[in-house]
Amino acid sequence: MRPLSLTLLALVAPTAAGADLPRSAPEAQGVSSPAVLAFVEAADKDIDALHSFMLVRHGRVVAEGWWAPYTAGAPHMLFSLSKSFTSTAVGLAAAEGKLSVDDPVLQFFPNDAPADPSAHLKAMRLSDLLRMSTGQQAEPARKPTEPWAKTFLAQQVPFKPGTHFLYNTSATYMLSAAVQKATGQTTLDYLKPRLFEPLGIANPTWELSPQGISTGGYGLSVRTEDIAKFGQLYLQKGKWNGKQLVPEAWVSAATARQTSNGSNPKSDWDQGYGYQFWRCRHGAYRGDGAFGQYCIVLPEQDAVVAITAGVRDMQAVLNLVWDKLLPALKDAPLAADEGAAQKLAGALKALSVRRPEGKGPGPKVTGKKYMFPANDGKLAALTLERGAGDEVTLVAQVAGAERRIECASTGWKSGRVAWGRQPEQPAAAAGAWTADDTFTAKVCFTETPFVLTLRLKFTGAEVRVEPEWNVGFGPTKEPALVGKQ
């Protein structure tokens, strides 16, 4: 029989191949298991929903968990957390002498420049892109029909570069494009041997612009542990396994306050901005992305927090880190508390995104086909099929193709799903009759922040379908559709 301490570590051991951060019991690294449990329980109760969480202390993972159906081995879209990786590429290219942060932006894009560049555009440097101080008043568009660099350079620059903070994803794209111009490789390919491979980050993917350039400000997908490794590399001032991967001077500059962006002492978006890193309260800094993707580095506590999520209120997640996790980090090792550690490990292992709760067997509508008039969602027909036990499969005809959503009655059913804005991709679904006349399906697109809830209300010979997304850059509720037998 294994000792209890080894059993506890096994409960939180990684399941992803190639994961190489060492593991430790929380108390051995000065972390209180009850305090971490309080964070996990509060996140599970009050935030809908975290997808994963990893806490690294003194270089060792002391707590990690994935809310089912999200898993350790699956990559997750980072959105703007990608920006911090693009910043790293710029730092590496500068260290290799391929570019300088003082280089004028126009130097890299002579064919995309306007015929008569303004004085402010001529003065714009890579460093202004890095600190989101391009001098532009509005973020340039990124249209599929126009070269993104040309659109960026055509935008008016009313302010002197370096004097006006504007969060600007197109500026990060220009950094990625500059890296590609200077190195002859996409930012992804450039980083593979210099960052991803040394850190053991396998199979990173990065979206491309229509011009074949890594999008820079978003589009990178990696695993939760990869986020933690990236944060640990920065915590270690660019050193990994005894080798200086990123110059220490770059780490210091990129994570320092390079520009002011507000004065609210309660906001983690008003603490200053570095080179594609945000400054935080409590002496911390972070990379972050839309809907709750975080790489939080706490130098004073020698800790890293990696989180993926699908949330609307990003500040609420950071507040929870400061309120629950920060006090858990003590200056010295704590006495072993295997009971508390076991309780924490059990809670981490049992995490799950909230599933629809069943209220009854539902009406007898399985096998009946409902037809829909023409609609923007291109849903033509819908049928419910019963599977084993209480499992239900939604069979939809969408844009001329059959789409099947198999909904587990307990747990989650993994497969591939396409719906609306989301193309076919890995997903997991659960469903239940949440009222006498309503079947609710919840579909997690497990490599993204996005979760789709479909409410199907049956009345006589009609069904009313109400799709709603958990988060989005626009409206999250889609128009209801009514189908008839």
CATH number of 76-327: 3.40.710.10
pLDDT number for residue 150: 98
Contacts of 417 (CB under 8 A, 6+ apart): 403, 405, 424, 425, 427, 429, 443, 445
pLDDT number for residue 377: 87
- Pick among 3.20.20.100, 2.40.128.20, 1.10.1200.10, 2.40.30.10: CATH of 369-484: 2.40.128.20
pLDDT number for residue 4: 34
Cβ(292)–Cβ(308) below 8 Å: yes
Cβ(285)–Cβ(297) below 8 Å: yes
Strand partners, 481: 465
Strand partners, 458: 463
How large is the C-alpha radius of gyration of the chain? 24
Nearest 10 degrees: Cα torsion 433, 438, 444, 449: -140
Contacts of 333 (CB under 8 A, 6+ apart): 27, 28, 29, 30
State which amino acid sits at residue 374. Answer: A
Contacts of 205 (CB under 8 A, 6+ apart): 75, 188, 220, 221
What is the C-alpha separation between 388 and 386, in angstroms, rounded?
7
pLDDT number for residue 362: 83
- Give the number of other CB atoms < 10 A from CB of residue 444: 28
Cβ(369)–Cβ(376) below 8 Å: no
Residue span(s) of the chain under CATH 2.40.128.20 come to 369-484
Residue span(s) of the chain under CATH 3.40.710.10 come to 76-327
Average pLDDT per run of 10 along the chain, which is 485 residues long? Answer: 36 44 97 97 95 98 98 98 98 98 98 97 98 98 96 98 97 98 98 98 98 98 98 98 97 98 96 98 98 98 98 98 97 95 96 93 90 94 87 92 94 94 94 95 98 97 97 95 96
Structure-block tokens of residue 156? 């008016």
pLDDT number for residue 20: 83
